[in-house]
Structure 1
Amino acid sequence: MKPVSFGVLGVSGFFMKKIGIPTAKSPLIQWNGIASRSLERSQQAADTYNITNAYGSYEELLADDTIEAVYIPLPNHMHAEWIKKAADAGKHVLCEKPLALTADEAQEGIDYATSKGVKVMEAFMYRFHAQWKHVLELIRTKEVGTVQLVNTFFGFNNVDPNNIRNQSAKGGGALYDIGCYAVSASRFLMQSEPKRVVSQLTYHKDFETDILSSGILDFGNARAQFTVATQTFPYQRVDVHGSSGVISIDIPFNTPADVPVKVTVTTSVGTREVQLGPEDQYITEFEGFARAIREDTAVPTPPIDAIRNMKVLDALRESGQTNQWVSIS
């Protein structure tokens, strides 16, 4: 299969370290362009990481007919705009989460891209790791009985006022940045949509972003609850509580590519551990997207999932303002 020619909008250390270098090893992915507002900066990145072309603007990269698809890791508030611009240029889009800042904005961007005949996928890389497929199978076979609760914690410590995660105007804050993972994971494990949500959001007095956010998602016969934080000791964990046991994922999201990870099942019989990996979830994600382009099939994570996730995030934000349960239609 011929590799897909990718370009990336923006220069970031995260992209280079976690995505650009590892995915370049894949026979399905070829990095042919990197763009920033500074040609000098993008050229330096291209030279350092062996990317074919550098551009001094995002528009220049989109105008290059040799680029088939773009990866968008720009600040959250720019996602919807550049999805549309990429679609205008006929580029398929793999966009970082959240896909937009509201469900309506996500719907608009996806509809626009679809009208232009290009594929769009939200980049929730965690779903491509084998541990999540394993946990879904454990749930399906009722290894812990009937699922009653999914509990998620995800936190890190970032107090830099210049970091986009701490800038409200750019879509920063715990709920957008990592709460989206907690919501996505809950929906993924439940294989359904919540009927209503309630939340409590604590805001930084200077940044005006939420720094400690908790929520409950009511799925009818089961619930999910989460807490996400941006100024706490770095930690993450997902526990699935069933009527006869608990499934625990020790490193659910920032899963290391070079070492195995552990899923633990605890029941009345005892505790057993399963090691999965090592596996690079970013490579698997990009390869899945590339295959969908080459084979002209549906992307692994359908665009409707991004809209549904944003509907929950919209409701959680509304609940944080009203201190009431908010229904999701």
Structure 2
Amino acid sequence: MAIGVAIVGSGHFAKEQHLPAVQAAADLRLGAIYSRSLKSAQALAGSTSDVDLYSDDSGAGKSYADLLARSDIGAVIIGLPILVQPEFIRKALQAGKHVLSEKPIAKDVPTAQDLLQWYRANINPRKTFWAVGENYRYLTKLLFAAEQVRQMGPVRHFRVNVHSLIKGDNKYYLTPWRKSPEYQGGFLLDGGVHMVAGLRLILGRDEPITTVSALSQQQQAYLPPVDTVDAVVKTGSGATGVVSLSWGSPFSDNVFEFACEKGVVKMHFDGLTINGKDHPIEFDGKGVVPEVAEFARAIVNGRPVESRQSPEEALADLEVLEQMLQSGKRDGEKRQLHLQTELLA
């Protein structure tokens, strides 16, 4: 029997990814949508039938608390602004709902750790599951690149260059909480955790990033507080690499390149080369469909979510990005990372 699920948040990602993914999941049935306003909830619902709408302006019986009180809603998928999302996660877990929340796990590591510690202390994680969505861990091109790197032997050196320019008319920029971010990094936090997750996926769990040293800057005045970070990083085995991320750059790059014992694996956008030989990867979506389906299977099978959806993995991603930003604030100060190593304990 399909699990009743609610989508919480009606932004662009919910429209383009969450809603289609829920509709494609055999184990889920969309029963409700919550948004701050009824208008935005209606916009997400569109012509979808048999979906109840909840919002802050819908009147009695239609609040978020009312949604969580429904016995036929077993899970929620939460995609809300970074600063408010932890409160909604906590309330849903308290109500006994399984949660799939969007990355980043929180605005900073202390906030995320506090939420995770609360979850472990107050909720039985074997009965009520909390997953954090990171669709980059489901992208075919990244999974294939990771497989090829494993076959090429230990990584010696690597570089990640992801550069683009978020313009003033970009639909994501036009969301108020992104135009005036009250959290570290701005678009670097929002988009950078994707790139960290991709890098960590390809390096593998046994190759944690242990130190970072970075410089940061704000190239575009409308992208505060910073929009560019250039970091030198080192892994537990001694491999070194450069991670350059910018959402305020005139460059257009999306390169993940790994020099391994037996050769070089390079991913450039959707193209992959292994020792110079092309291995085209057909684009098959942004990874949200299999991500949501895996979350649903965990609930149906009564088992905790897979490690790639765990809050601990999302926290490790956040630590890498946060320490890059902190190093940038301190003119390249060397920073130590710990959370990835703890995952191996």
Q: Structure 2: how far apart are the matches of 1:50 and 1:199?
A: 50
Letter in 2 for 1:193: P
Residue 158 of structure 2 contacts residue 256 of structure 2 at CA under 8 Å; is this kept in 1? no
Say if 1:74 and 1:100 are closer, same or farther in 2 by CA, change over 3 A: same
Give 2:224's aligned residue: 208
Give 1:180's aligned residue: 193
Give 2:292's aligned residue: 286
Give 1:85's aligned residue: 91
SS at match of 2:7: strand
Residue 76 of structure 1 contacts residue 172 of structure 1 at CA under 8 Å; is this kept in 2? no
* Deviates most, 26-35 or 170-179: 170-179
Residues 273-305 of structure 1: per-residue CA shift (max 9 Å, x gap): 143563562110001111111112231222211
Aligned: 1:69 with 2:69: no
Say if 1:46 and 1:279 are closer, same or farther in 2 by CA, change over 3 A: closer
Deviation at 1:104, TM superposition (A): 2.1
Give 2:265's aligned residue: 247
Give 2:343's aligned residue: none
> Following superposition of structure 1 onto structure 2, how do residues 250-329 of structure 1 map, counting pairs within 5 Å?
250-251=268-269, 261-265=270-274, 267=275, 270-276=276-282, 278=284, 281-300=287-306, 301=308, 302-323=310-331, 324-329=333-338
**Equivalences, count:** 315
TM-score, with length taken from structure 2: 0.82
> Following superposition of structure 1 onto structure 2, how do residues 102-251 of structure 1 map, counting pairs within 5 Å?
102-114=108-120, 115-117=122-124, 118-142=128-152, 146-159=155-168, 162-163=174-175, 164-169=177-182, 173-191=186-204, 192-203=207-218, 204-205=220-221, 207-220=223-236, 221-232=238-249, 235-251=253-269
Residue 160 of structure 2 contacts residue 243 of structure 2 at CA under 8 Å; is this kept in 1? yes
Identical aligned pairs, as a percentage? 22
Residues 69-115 of structure 1: per-residue CA shift (max 9 Å, x gap): 11111111122222111111111111111111122211222233343
Residue 229 of structure 2 contacts residue 324 of structure 2 at CA under 8 Å; is this kept in 1? no
Deviation at 1:224, TM superposition (A): 3.3
Letter in 1 for 2:123: K
Residues 192-235 of structure 1: per-residue CA shift (max 9 Å, x gap): 32221112221354553211222222114212322222234554
Residue 155 of structure 2 contacts residue 203 of structure 2 at CA under 8 Å; is this kept in 1? no
Q: Structure 2: how far apart are the matches of 1:177 and 1:34?
A: 23
Deviation at 1:55, TM superposition (A): 0.4
Say if 1:245 and 1:299 are closer, same or farther in 2 by CA, change over 3 A: same
TM-score, with length taken from structure 1: 0.86
Say if 1:141 and 1:93 are closer, same or farther in 2 by CA, change over 3 A: same
